Structure 1
């Protein structure tokens, strides 16, 4: 029997990248899935990839729209219950950095960028989790939040509002993990490093330039010690592990760093100091 047979999962931000990979992995392992995103065409691509993996369309619920709106938040929850009758797994993956019209980075961004960033990366997650909570308590379900290594103690001066929102998401994970575990609901968080997704394009980087970044970072072990930029499925498999209570039941309220070793590196340690002494 597939490990997620008779389970129902909601995966937000599943029109590409980590969300798409996670939806495919969970569906292939038996879950009925609700996939969501703002781009109808890309969300349809996700659906077709799930179907191509041998999953019937009756096991897929598609919701197109902006997850920061009350209408779409309610539609995600209500349509899942109407179609599948329950919720076992909530993957809060939707999130992104924001640029202004002239591509400003850093603290010089208008405060409206701060508001948009926190609305998507934190507020929408808090609200959707609140709305899913009674159904997750009924099934003793799982919540997996997708954060970022930018939430850590290292500075990310180019995207301060994004990294601040992800740091808040990590703390949200810890707080609600303790509140919900007495009700049988486990909450954990995955903090990816660099992943081959549409992240650079969201910040205005052309596709070819994005590939250059991925290739450079992946081939430099002072950036990614494992020697490879992650594929979305690398992160999706970790999310699936955390969603599988039979394998990860004793992990509660943790933030799993999935970055190929990036956050263990200090720039000064990437140079051979002994060479300097010769």
Structure 2
């Protein structure tokens, strides 16, 4: 029997990258999945990737929604319950290092940018946890929040608002983990480093080809990624799947798993001013 047979998972930010890889992995391992994002075309690409893996369309719930809005959150939850009847797993993957609308960088970014950064990377997670909590309590469910090595402890001067939001997410996750474990709900965190998804290059305005070159360069620099190569979405999906598989990780509660090829141990890649 597949390890996630009879499990239902919501994966936010699953129209690309880590979210897409996680949705495909969980689905191929038996889970029924709700995938979601704001871009309908990219979300359909995720759905097709799941179907091409041999998964029945009846096991996929595709929802175009903005997870930062109450309407989007409610639609994700209600449509999942309507189609699958329960929720076992919540993976809060949606997040972004949002460019400043005025083109400012570093600590000169606007307060508007700060607000948007926290709304997506922290507030939407808090709201989803609050709303899904009663359903996960019924199933003794799992939550994994996707953070970043940008949360620290090393300073990230190029992205102080994003890094601060992720640091807040980490502490919220620890606090919530202790609060919810009495209801049988486990919360853990994954901190990715560089992953070849386009995430780290979107804020820089790089093309697809330039993005590939950027990630290849990072992987070639031992002071950036000691492992010698840039991570792929599948690497992170495997870590997330481990954490939502209670049979193998049930005694892990409120912990942060760093998956970065060793970057956080030698983190000098933020030092050059770009």
TM-score by length of 2: 0.95
* SS of structure 2 residue aligned to 1:61: strand
* SS of structure 2 residue aligned to 1:41: helix
**Match runs of 1:198-217 below 5 Å:** 198-203=198-203, 204-217=205-218
Report how far residue 107 of structure 1 moved: 0.8
Aligned equivalents of 1:202, 1:250: Cα separation in 2: 37
1:192 aligns to what? 192
Which of structure 1's runs of 4+ aligned residues deviate more than 3 A?
none
- Contact between 1:96 and 1:202, CA under 8 Å: does it hold in 2? no
Gaps of 5+ in 2: 269-274
Report how far residue 200 of structure 1 moved: 3.2
**Match runs of 1:1-278 below 5 Å:** 1-203=1-203, 204-265=205-266, 267=268
Aligned equivalents of 2:86, 2:267: Cα separation in 1: 46
Gaps of 5+ in 1: 268-278
Aligned equivalents of 1:218, 1:175: Cα separation in 2: 34
Aligned equivalents of 2:207, 2:166: Cα separation in 1: 24
Aligned equivalents of 1:101, 1:264: Cα separation in 2: 33
Aligned equivalents of 2:254, 2:57: Cα separation in 1: 34
- Contact between 1:144 and 1:189, CA under 8 Å: does it hold in 2? yes
Aligned equivalents of 2:185, 2:31: Cα separation in 1: 18
1:274 aligns to what? none
Say what the alpha-carbon RMSD is for the aligned residues: 1.0
Higher alpha-carbon Rg? 1
Aligned equivalents of 2:235, 2:260: Cα separation in 1: 10
Report how far residue 193 of structure 1 moved: 0.2
